[in-house]
Amino acid sequence: MAFAPSAIFLFIARGLDGLTAGNIPVAQAVISDTVEGKDRARGFGIIGACFGIGFILGPAISALTVGISIKLPFIIAGIISLAAVMLAVVILDETNKHIGVTAHKKIFDFKKLGKEIFNPNTGPTLVITFLWAFAFGMFIYAFQPFSLKILHLNERTVSLIFVLFGIVGLVSQLFLVSQIARKLGTRKAFTLALSTLTVSFVLLFSLKIFSC
């Protein structure tokens, strides 16, 4: 994205980023494989906290460097991503103990995916997770043009707002998630949290679209 000669390359780069953005599910799978059931809510909370730290440091780096060059934040992000990949390759051991046990199947089995939606054990989680990811994408898509065109904020201010999002998220993940999970149970807490986030993102997106 730092060296894109035109807007179409920005879309291609963003599409590539989406196609290769399997890092969070992998991290969640590692937590599931290595942490006991009673401690998984805390483990997932740590992932959320790390996501919050990224939301703080990433926009903060952008706010500090975008004045030097609009390309610089993207270059720094690329270097950090490359370093993360190398660390994962070198340090992270395989946690799946069933390799070779299960048969090799299609990478994209849409027929099976359709059936899983109606599976009472996995269906609700699958649907809620999809709706949350879709709503989050709509929110991010609408936030920047709304901030620039309607609120007339500059790039540095938008970055600082994302820093604030990250701080709120970090505090919530560190101090609220485990407490709510203990009171409601992991499944109810998960469902409530993602459902609330989904509704919030959709409402924010709708308000911004109507304002534009």
Mean of the pLDDT values across residues 156-167? 79
Determine contact, residues 154/37, Cβ cutoff 8 Å: no
Mean of the pLDDT values across residues 169-179? 75
Q: Of 53, 71, 52, give the one whose Cα is nearest residue 62.
A: 71
- For residue 10, the model assigns a pLDDT of 84
- Helices 72-91 and 40-65: crossing angle in degrees, nearest 10, is 150
Q: Is the pLDDT of residue 126 over 70?
A: yes
- For residue 76, the model assigns a pLDDT of 92
Mean of the pLDDT values across residues 172-189? 77
Q: Is the pLDDT of residue 92 over 80?
A: yes
Mean of the pLDDT values across residues 69-78? 89
- Residues sharing a CB contact under 8 Å with residue 146, sequence separation 6 or more, in sequence order: 208, 211, 212
What percent of the chain is predicted at pLDDT more than 90?
A: 3
- Specify which of 22-26, 35-39, 63-67, 137-141 reaches the highest per-range mean pLDDT: 63-67
pLDDT digits (tens, 9 = 90+) for 41-58: 777 777 777 777 887 888
Mean predicted lDDT score pLDDT of the chain: 78
pLDDT digits (tens, 9 = 90+) for 181-212: 778 877 787 778 777 777 776 776 666 566 65
- For residue 79, the model assigns a pLDDT of 92
Q: Is the pLDDT of residue 104 over 70?
A: no
- For residue 83, the model assigns a pLDDT of 92
Mean of the pLDDT values across residues 28-38? 79
- For residue 102, the model assigns a pLDDT of 60
Own/partner contacts of 72-76, CB < 8 Å, gap of 24 or more, are 72/2, 74/1, 74/2, 75/2
Separation in Å, CA 31 to CA 44, 114, 199: 7, 26, 27
Taking the C-alpha atoms of residue 139 and residue 54, their distance in angstroms, rounded to an integer, is: 18
Tokens of 100: 């070779």
- For residue 207, the model assigns a pLDDT of 64
